[in-house]
């Protein structure tokens, strides 16, 4: 089935469906949990067949079992625990029939139709379904973003902010911005938040890009039939994509953490590789009008979590020879909620930053 909101050739990110014949061990209410766990350990798939909650119970028991197996709190044991849990929990499957979960008392997950228009019947793992379910809740309920009138409904697999200090910084900076407001480029547009703010503050046009196809598809869908569709144009591409023309403002809220080798899953919304910033600055130099500004949102998260001593923007200013500092604004991040169990003491020293650069 053709989906006109998905530009041709764009392959959306989604959990890979399991199709065709798979050998399965059935799990129903009466199945002994130990037998199911045994089957998982022998590498077999276990299919949840009766109630959705049976899947939740099995996951809980599996976690319990693995906690006993890896009782120590050491970093290594915890990592082994997580790796084994990830591997075994992904052998727990659930069937999708006619785009719906084929078990009783299951949540309705609209992504099953939106992301798999051509495949009504398939299998996914239970953790994947949980991920799709929570993303569907975010999408349906929407997120209130300070400074933006309408709620944002984040598309599956697209970054959206859950803390807003950097958004406040940008909104405030735009309030006092005195330059021209004809065009801007929004590199890594995500759910569109920075562009929405620029349009609110009177920019006539924003040209966005993203390397994540879901961001492009989601934003097209969100803007479809609205006035924003004429103000914000998007391109699926690296850094500046097809936007060649010079502009008065370039904004980029890049990933804030350096990618390191022992990270299992690289997420381009969160981790940057060593080429990202040098390439960005080199291209930005050619796209910026003489009086234009580059605005970057950043944080000291990489430094305070000891992932790096480097600051890619400070590095550019020191060694790049292309830009100089116009202004830098900083805002402390509020302490993490006291309800949070994890040890987030470093939050108290986290600071978000808004850097304004101009050409040398
Ligand atoms: C931290 S998110 C910011 C999203 C949005 N601008 C915001 O402020 O809410 C970074 C975004 O940049 C995108 N991205 C990462 N590397 C990129 C690249 N090389 N070219 C274009 N976009 C990129 C990611 O997919 C992600 O959507």
Q: Are strands 351-359 and 288-299 parallel, antiparallel or unpaired?
A: antiparallel
Residue 72 alpha carbon to ligand 1 centre in Å: 37
**Tens of pLDDT, residue by residue, the chain (360 residues):** 334 445 667 899 999 999 988 999 999 888 889 999 999 999 999 999 999 999 999 999 999 999 999 888 788 888 889 999 999 999 999 999 999 999 999 999 999 999 999 999 999 999 999 999 999 999 999 999 999 999 999 999 999 999 999 999 999 999 999 999 999 999 999 999 999 999 999 999 999 999 999 999 999 999 999 999 999 999 999 999 999 999 999 999 999 988 875 544 458 888 899 899 999 999 999 999 999 999 999 999 888 888 888 999 999 999 999 999 999 999 998 765 544 445 555 556 889 999 999 999
For residue 339, what pLDDT is reported?
Answer: 47
Decide: 161 in ligand 1 pocket, CB within 6 A.
yes
Strands 247-252 and 288-299, how do they pair? parallel
Q: Provide long-range contacts, Cβ within 8 A and 24+ apart, for 266-269.
A: 268/211, 268/212, 269/158, 269/159, 269/188, 269/190, 269/212
Confirm if 316 and 323 have CB atoms less than 8 A apart.
Answer: yes
* Global pTM value: 0.91
DSSP code of 143?
A: B
Beta-sheet pairing, 183-187 with 247-252: parallel
Q: Mutation test of ligand 1: which of 10, 159, 249 has the most ligand atoms closer than 8 Å to its C-beta?
A: 159
Angle 284-286-291 from CA coordinates, rounded to 5°: 80
For CA atoms 127, 132, 136, 138, the dihedral sign is positive
Tell me how far the alpha carbon of residue 306 lies from the centroid of ligand 1, in angstroms: 23
Q: 3-state DSSP: the chain helix, strand, coil percent, rounded to 5?
A: 35, 25, 40
Name the residue of 152, 169, 174, 188 whose CB sits within 8 Å of the most ligand 1 atoms, as the mutation to test its pocket.
Answer: 188
Q: How many Å apart are CA 139 and CA 157, to the nearest integer?
A: 11
Task: Please tell me the residue having the least CA distance from ligand 1 atom 24.
Answer: 269
187 lines ligand 1 (CB under 6 A): yes
Q: Whose alpha carbon is nearest atom 27 of ligand 1?
A: 190
Domain ranges of the chain: 24-139, 165-359
C-beta 247 within 6 A of ligand 1: no
Q: Which residue has the tokens 């407001």?
A: 181
What's the rounded Cα separation, in Å, for the pair 185 and 249?
6
Q: Mean pLDDT over all residues of the chain?
A: 91
Q: Where are the alpha helices (DSSP H) in 142-203?
A: 165-176, 193-200
Name the closest-CA residue to atom 8, ligand 1.
Answer: 253
Beta-sheet pairing, 100-101 with 271-272: unpaired
Sign of the alpha-carbon torsion through 145, 148, 154, 160: negative
pLDDT tens sequence across 53-94: 999 999 999 999 999 998 887 888 888 899 999 999 999 999
For residues 143 and 150, what is the distance between their CA atoms, to the nearest angstrom? 9
Pocket flag, ligand 1, residue 238 (CB < 6 Å): yes
Give the Cα-Cα-Cα angle 343, 347, 348 (nearest 5 degrees).
115
- Ligand 1 atom closest to the Cα of residue 297 is 8
Helix (H) or strand (E) holding 68: helix 52-69
Identify whether the C-beta of residue 321 lies closer than 8 Å to the C-beta of residue 360: yes
Distance, CA 90 to ligand 1 centroid (Å)?
A: 28
Ligand 1 pocket test, pick from 155, 158, 199, 211 with the greatest ligand atom count within 8 Å of Cβ, gives 211
Q: CATH for 165-359?
A: 3.40.50.150
Q: Among candidates 307, 323, 333, 332, which has minimal Cα distance to 355? A: 323
Block residue for tokens 């798999």? 116
The residue assigned the tokens 């502009």 is: 247
Q: How far is the CA of 268 from the centre of ligand 1 (A)?
A: 7
Residues 6 or more apart whose CB falls under 8 angstroms from that of 83 comprise none
Max CA pair span of the chain = 72
Q: Which residue's alpha carbon is nearest to atom 6 within ligand 1? A: 189
């Amino acid at each position: 089935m053709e989906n006109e909101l998905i530009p041709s050739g764009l392959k959306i990110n989604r959990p890979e469906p399991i199709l065709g014949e798979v050998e399965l061990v059935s799990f129903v209410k009466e199945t002994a949990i130990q037998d199911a766990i045994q089957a998982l350990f022998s590498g077999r798939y276990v299919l949840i067949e009766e109630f959705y909650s049976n899947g939740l119970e099995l996951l809980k028991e599996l976690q319990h079992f693995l906690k006993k197996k890896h009782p120590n709190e050491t970093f290594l044991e915890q990592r082994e625990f997580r790796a084994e849990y990830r591997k075994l929990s992904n052998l727990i499957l659930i069937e999708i029939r006619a785009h719906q979960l084929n078990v009783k008392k299951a949540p309705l997950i609209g992504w099953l139709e939106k992301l798999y228009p051509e495949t009504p019947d398939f299998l996914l793992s239970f953790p994947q379904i949980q991920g799709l379910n929570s993303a569907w809740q975010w999408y349906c309920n929407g997120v209130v973003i300070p400074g933006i009138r309408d709620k944002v409904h984040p598309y599956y697999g697209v970054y959206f902010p859950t803390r807003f200090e950097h958004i406040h910084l940008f909104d405030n900076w735009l309030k006092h911005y005195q330059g021209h407001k004809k065009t801007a480029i929004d590199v890594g547009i995500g759910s569109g938040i920075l562009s929405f703010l620029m349009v609110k503050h009177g920019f006539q046009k924003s040209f966005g890009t993203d390397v994540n196809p879901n961001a492009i598809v989601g934003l097209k869908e969100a803007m479809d039939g609205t006035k924003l569709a004429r103000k914000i144009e998007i391109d699926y591409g690296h850094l500046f994509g097809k936007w060649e023309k010079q502009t008065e403002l370039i904004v980029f809220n890049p990933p804030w953490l350096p990618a390191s080798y022992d990270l299992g899953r690289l997420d381009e919304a969160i981790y940057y590789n060593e080429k990202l910033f040098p390439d960005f600055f080199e291209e930005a130099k050619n796209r910026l009008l003489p009086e234009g500004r580059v605005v970057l949102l950043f944080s000291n998260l990489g430094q305070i979590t000891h992932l790096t001593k480097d600051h890619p923007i400070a590095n550019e200013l020191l060694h790049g020879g292309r830009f100089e500092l116009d202004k830098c604004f900083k805002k402390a991040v509020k302490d993490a909620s006291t309800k949070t169990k994890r040890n987030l003491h470093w939050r108290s020293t986290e600071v978000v930053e808004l850097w304004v650069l101009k050409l040398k």
